[in-house]
Structure 1
Amino acid sequence: MPLLCNSKFFQYKTINHIKMTTAAQQPLDKNVLTEALIAFSLAIAAAVFIKLPALFGIDLDQNESFYLRNMSFFVLPLLTGYFAWKRKLESRSVIWLALAFVMAAAFANLYPFEQGGDTEALLALHLPIALWLVVGIAFSGGRWNQVSERMDFVRFSGELFIYYVLIALGGGALTGFMALIFGTIGIDIEPFFESWLLPCGVTGAVIIAAWLVEIRNHMAGNFAPVLAKLFSPLFALMLLSFLGTLLFTGNELIMERNVLIAFDLLLVVVLCLLLYSISARDTKAAPGLFDVVQVVLVTSALMADAVALWGISERIAEFGFTPNRVAALGMNLILLVNLAWSAVLYIRFISGKTNFSTLEKWQTDYLPFYAVWAAIVVIIFPLLFGFT
């Protein structure tokens, strides 16, 4: 009897704990959304800050000395402000932290350094290390004297580095695909990459990586889908820019062997972004802004796939069938069907005509087709095209 009572009491406590936890998660989600908006706003601000000197004639490629000495000030004050806001630091503490950055900026810019000299290089190397302590004080919420807070900042610094590297790898893949597909229509994006994409991405990614570290406890092992959500808008923007440039310039698409492979890889990456984003989504949640972004991504990928198919067809008509062209043709047709129906289902979901689980089922049901086509290429192609 006592055991039964204890069992019922345990069930009662467990049920109430679940209810309390669920109720507590609702404001937490709102807080995470607010943090996301703040973090992305600060990341955009960092990207804007690093381009502001160019308005005064201080270009990155012609004034490397200035940027070496001041790189820390484009992002670390914003990161400090993020933690000051989140930890609700007192105004007096914020003033002291701001004063530290002002004094550092004075030392960095008022000393008469010889351009390219040793002391200037040493300042550029050590200034971020010194200012990282200022970030740590803001991170600790003014409790830097506590060992646990300092150790938390050490952990944060390590995780920030790891997340930053992951974002950089994703950004590198995005840039590589961008350079390749724009190269197929004779557009050189290297100047844009060097002047805009690289400096803005390097600074803005620090804020985003810090935000990811901060919300890691709420991701519960779903970091890959979070990265997919971060890069989905970027890939959509890249594809739309490519399609718009192709339409505006009227340049001919050059579908050589490496280009065919790269286009297929790009579309596979887009498909992976879609799958990971779907895996992270609550199937019962109402349509939101990110769902619209997903529709834009899928639609732009669908149009890019159609362009690739057109280019492949022209190559086959002009030069005949080869193993690479047929393999690319088959993969693009399979991707076309998947993306087309995914776009239809996503639009129907947003318009309230179907539920999200239908889209989820379609994606999982379609996975075997990729394996079947891969098996055909492995088994049948050598017999059709020979073993050379």
Structure 2
Amino acid sequence: MSPDPKADEISGQIDQWRQMMAARPGLSNDDVDELTDHLESEINDLRTAGLTPDEAFLIAVKRLGGQDAVSREYARVHSDRLWRQLMPPSSRRPSNGLPTALLLAAGGGLAIRLPYSILGDQASGQFYPRAVGLLILPFLIGYFLIGHWRDETDLPRRIDRLGGAGGLGALAGALAVAVVPLALFPPRPDGQTFWLTAIHLPISLVAATGIAYLGPRWKVLGAWMDWVRWLGEAVVYYVLIALCGGALTALIVGIFNAAGLPDTIVGQIPGWVLPLGAGGAVPVCAWLVERKKSVIENMAPVLTAVFTPLMTTALLAFLVVVAVNGDPVTVDRDVLIVFDAALIAVAAIVMFTVSARPSGPRRGLDWMQVTLVVAAICVDLVMLWAMAGRLGEWGASPNKVAGLGCNLLLLAHLFGTSWYYGRVLRASPADPASAAGLTRWQCLALPAFGFWALLVAVGFPPSFGWA
């Protein structure tokens, strides 16, 4: 019979270890119970092998990991819990603080502004559209990698924390591919493929940046929902910073005008402040999201509850217009572009809502989301009808083919979302499998959209002769 570790002198040591673990952030009582079971099982195995109680306890604790290491691991696995609570200052990593974010912000701002100083007006029309992602995102990637690097001390573990050789290779490969349009593609701002690259290349880079954020978890499909959640939170902070920055810039310009400074000097202020702020705000947003997660977490249900009915109303209005018009092929091209953007916004809203959805029984917001998704499916079918008609009537073009592929991808994603949301609404409130399926489906969308965006950005220009 296996020895019971609670029946001997190490029971006091186990209780003391349990109390220390319970004091760590991110660990609930159930987590501590699970850890204690693992510890006791390990002790049982070691004692069966002939070790003394003290030896078994020490080795079992060592195998289980240090208190901080185990706590950090549970924080990563149970990120939905830690997303709602701020870790106390004593437990935060000093390596990923505000000084690092501000230093990278300065680099990001200068990376945006200096090309204009060198290339002049040529940069605005030919360089920036395709290079903006490559100018900003490396500083965000650096912010994540610096934090992972300083979490460990020896090189092998550091490499693993960065995502391993596979993760670093995939990240480097994405950045290298993103350089191809700048290095090899002709700068033709009057061409369709030029702007297709400008729109899709940042999307693929944002998807790849998730590898740097997730580190060793980038191979775990469910972990990508953390990247979705992070992006949603960062967008909210970026908009707030942009609004404040715009108001501050206008105030400074007004003060300098009132002071009677020459227009040549005052006119240069927005040309420096806006690009520096646009690039520098990205690492600052990263720092804010990591430090103030609980603040935006409380806003997420409010934001989704407001935008979901508004977006549903807009989509239903489009369907009414099409029904009155009778032929979607004749709908104005600009209207189709607007509602294509609306469908992409719907996919983003749904993904962010699912990422912030608490586990538990179905809610009213779930029904609102299903209504939004069904309306989006109807709009997408009409869009595909219109695009197929335009292709047949006027022939293929880069924009038409890219739009058709995007809408087919969106349709598949929306159909899958409606299926899994339906399972959530039909399932028992105690059944977590349906919610897990919905989350996994949203995670699958990230690599799918990222790969499609990269294909359009790099493959369409040469395929269509740089048209």
TM value normalised by structure 2: 0.40
TM value normalised by structure 1: 0.47
